[in-house]
Amino acid sequence: MAAPLPLSRANFPKLSPLPEANSNIIAHVGVGGFHRSHQAFVLNSLISLDSSEGWSILGVGLMAGDKKMRDVLRSQDYLYSVNLRSASTNTATVVQSISDFVYVPEDGVTDKLLSAKIVSLTITERGYYLTPSGFLDTSNDLISSDLSSFSSSTFAPKTAHGLICKLALAHKSSGCAPPTVMSCDKYAIRCSTPFAARVQRARSAKRGEDSALKEREVSCLAFRELALQIPIGATCMGKPQREKKQRQ
């Protein structure tokens, strides 16, 4: 039996080429099986109908295990296949909606990542770093690291919260609207707001300002204001009362 043909554009010349300018980027954190068989698959179907708007997915990895995903996808020109099976059919589709992958610990926060218009997430409950009460767990080592190093010019986020706030701040600095954040898990991404608030309070304290600022005063400071203005997409099963407590 002949060896299977490696999945690459060179071996599949009939694939429709992606638009050269990917002007509309979805940065997705957590490129696992669920994302690849659902969100990326659906976007691939839409691109096959109309690719004129240049939408594509930029995979984003923060954890050590994400490096292998980046390397495997890169070796396949970011192509992979999805099999659809039923009692009467068995079809395979080559998905090409993922155009690139950034493994942040090695690649850093690239210009393409900074230009993303949507940030979507499938990071499971552990990726939100919440306490049993539903508050941001600031005692977690990764959250603590992001909070303490956020002001550094070489800051490389270790958590989704740090990444979201860095992207939003970059958009704010460039005069662009912040990216829309779309959580595809069951947790509302508003838990990034207390992360941003703590960063701002730390900055204020470092400048010798009163760190116990009232929320109205804090909201006038750029970073806190920025966090509250991040557009929120689908936040399944978010609990309003929990979000209210987090913003106090």
Of the listed ranges 44-58, 132-146, 193-207, the one predicted with least confidence: 193-207
Say if residue 140's pLDDT is above 80: yes
Task: Provide the sign of the torsion angle of the four alpha carbons 94, 96, 100, 101, taken in this order.
Answer: negative
| DSSP H stretches of helix in 91-229 | 104-107, 111-114, 141-149, 160-173, 192-206, 215-218, 222-229
Q: What is the pLDDT of residues 177-209, one digit of tens each?
A: 778 888 888 765 555 555 665 665 555 555 554
Average pLDDT over residues 86-109: 93
